[in-house]
């Protein structure tokens, strides 16, 4: 696509995302057209479409953000196409999706503003999306999903559980990637989770799961999971990764269960002899929320390249937390207090680091903002789609 076409689709799409209800209207129109033309597709999707709607608009945004680097956009879409096989969607379904997307954007924009140039530019984007997703779905040898048995479920905080599974066959994910997961308690709802340990030949996998109040799935994962439950896990996604060839040191910032993909990468790095220096800031709301700090500290003790800095938003535990605070290990950096992004940015811009941020959508947005304001170059920062 040329620069003019790229500018046209971006401006047109901003009118969707910046208008109240624009996201919902566009995705309702897309799924309306898709299911209208192909009624049998409806049964491939979950009963509640709320998540799908959000993800559609988010995925288009990611593609538009990378139109100057089409390889990145294609890589992302191919992963998405592989992942969608869990719904029974294959490469033959994507031409209809391209028509529905193009039609939904035309309907949203209205005839007064839908020029021939916009029509053509969006057609290029729609075919980039459908061709790449079809290629991901059709050219992959991996199964559409794996099954595994829960072997351990431990509540480490009232609203947070560590769940360990053994999959029937190992899943070849890279440390730092995430997977889509389905549980027997919510059989038609998939949610993304990041493995907290690297892939291994025994099929062992560990997830750290926070209960989101009012959520459809996470409360049942935290409250109702039992040893012996069978979970399904789909193709690995995402590309959080330390570039070992660059020689640059690393800054990792993880809050809550966001520690999981960082921890998996650090564990993987521990098995290598030479690594860049890694500064890991581990955050939580209260001191008691730093549930995995001691594992990270043990890793730091045997890996001189790793520095762990605990951060909590609040100085003290809440009054209802009854357990006494654990002793601060001698030699561990003292706990810093404040919003994690502000704390990290108070040390400077970290311009020479490869930077990874993982946590809730709010934490990722705020930390990115703080770093950019401190002068960190945008292209140095990596995070998963939120």
Q: Which is nearer to ligand FAD, 128 or 217 (CB)?
A: 217
SS3 of residue 67 by DSSP: coil
Please state the closest distance from residue 283 (CB atom) to ligand FAD, in A: 14
Closest CA to 155 of 223, 254, 206: 223
Q: Which is nearer to ligand FAD, 53 or 106 (CB)?
A: 53
Q: Which is nearer to ligand FAD, 130 or 257 (CB)?
A: 257
Q: How far is Cα 3 from Cα 197, in angstroms, rounded to an integer?
A: 42
Q: Which residue matches tokens 């926070």? A: 210
Please state the closest distance from residue 111 (CB atom) to ligand FAD, in A: 34
**Residue 363: how many other CB atoms lie within 10 Å:** 23
Q: Which is nearer to ligand FAD, 121 or 242 (CB)?
A: 242
Q: Which is nearer to ligand FAD, 105 or 157 (CB)?
A: 157
Give φ, ψ of 196 to 5 degrees. Answer: -95, 0
Please state the closest distance from residue 314 (CB atom) to ligand FAD, in A: 18
Give φ, ψ of 379 to 5 degrees. Answer: -70, -5
Q: Which residue matches tokens 């028509």? A: 99
Q: How far is Cα 83 from Cα 87, in angstroms, rounded to an integer?
A: 8
Largest CA distance in the chain: 69
Q: How far is Cα 219 from Cα 230, in angstroms, rounded to an integer?
A: 17
Please state the closest distance from residue 79 (CB atom) to ligand FAD, in A: 11
Residue number of the CB atom closest to ligand FAD: 215
Please state the closest distance from residue 106 (CB atom) to ligand FAD, in A: 29
Please state the closest distance from residue 41 (CB atom) to ligand FAD, in A: 22
Antiparallel, parallel or unpaired: β 179-183 and 230-234: antiparallel
Please state the closest distance from residue 332 (CB atom) to ligand FAD, in A: 24
Enumerate the β-bridge partners of residue 155. Answer: 161
Q: How far is Cα 197 from Cα 204, in angstroms, rounded to an integer?
A: 8
Q: Give the side-chain half-sphere CA count within 13 A for 20.
A: 0
CA 61 to chain CA centroid, nearest Å: 15
CB-based burial label for 386 (10 Å; 0-12, 13-18, 19+) = middle
322 to each of 159, 162, 318, how far by Cα in Å? 15, 21, 9
Q: Which is nearer to ligand FAD, 160 or 309 (CB)?
A: 160
**Which stretches of the chain bind ligand FAD, using CB under 6 A?**
51, 178, 191-194, 207-210, 212, 214-218, 238, 257, 260, 360, 384-386
Q: Which is nearer to ligand FAD, 81 or 238 (CB)?
A: 238
- What DSSP string runs through 164-212? EEEESS---PPTT-BEEEEETTEEEEEEEE-BSS---TT-EEEEEEEPP
Please state the closest distance from residue 382 (CB atom) to ligand FAD, in A: 12
Q: Which is nearer to ligand FAD, 114 or 192 (CB)?
A: 192
Please state the closest distance from residue 327 (CB atom) to ligand FAD, in A: 28
Q: Which is nearer to ligand FAD, 114 or 291 (CB)?
A: 291
């Amino acid at each position: 696509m040329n620069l003019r076409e790229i500018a046209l689709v971006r401006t047109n799409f901003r009118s969707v995302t910046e208008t109240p209800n624009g996201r919902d209207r566009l995705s309702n129109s897309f799924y309306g057209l898709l299911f209208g033309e192909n009624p049998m597709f409806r049964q491939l999707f979950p009963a509640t479409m709320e998540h799908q709607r959000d993800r559609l608009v988010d995925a288009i945004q990611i593609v538009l953000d990378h139109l100057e680097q089409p390889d990145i956009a294609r890589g992302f879409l191919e992963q998405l196409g592989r992942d969608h096989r869990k719904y029974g969607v294959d490469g033959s379904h994507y031409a209809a999706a391209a028509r529905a997307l193009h039609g939904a954007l035309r309907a949203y924009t209205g005839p007064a503003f839908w020029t021939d140039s916009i029509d053509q530019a969006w057609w290029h984007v729609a075919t980039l999306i459908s061709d790449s997703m079809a290629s991901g779905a059709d050219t992959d040898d991996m199964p559409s999903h794996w099954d595994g048995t829960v072997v351990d479920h431990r509540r480490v905080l009232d609203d947070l559980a560590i769940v360990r599974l053994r999959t029937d066959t190992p899943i070849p994910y890279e440390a730092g990637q995430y997977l889509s997961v389905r549980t027997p308690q919510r059989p038609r709802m998939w949610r993304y989770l990041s493995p907290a340990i690297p892939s291994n030949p025994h099929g062992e996998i560990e997830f750290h799961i926070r209960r989101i109040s009012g959520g459809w799935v996470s409360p049942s994962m935290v409250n109702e999971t039992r040893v012996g439950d069978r979970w399904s896990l789909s193709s690995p996604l995402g590309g959080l990764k330390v570039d070992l060839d660059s020689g640059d040191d690393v800054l990792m910032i993880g809050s809550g269960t966001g520690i999981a993909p960082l921890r998996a990468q650090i564990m993987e790095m521990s098995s290598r002899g030479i690594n860049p220096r890694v500064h890991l800031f581990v955050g939580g709301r209260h001191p008691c929320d730093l549930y995995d700090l001691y594992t990270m500290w043990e890793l730091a003790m045997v890996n001189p390249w790793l520095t762990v800095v605990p951060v909590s938003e609040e100085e003290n535990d809440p009054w209802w937390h009854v357990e006494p605070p654990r002793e601060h290990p001698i030699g561990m950096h003292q706990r810093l207090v404040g919003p994690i992004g502000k704390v990290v940015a108070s040390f400077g811009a970290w311009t020479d680091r490869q930077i990874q941020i993982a946590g809730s959508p709010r934490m990722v947005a705020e930390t990115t903002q703080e770093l950019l304001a401190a002068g960190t170059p945008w292209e140095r920062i990596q995070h998963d789609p939120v």
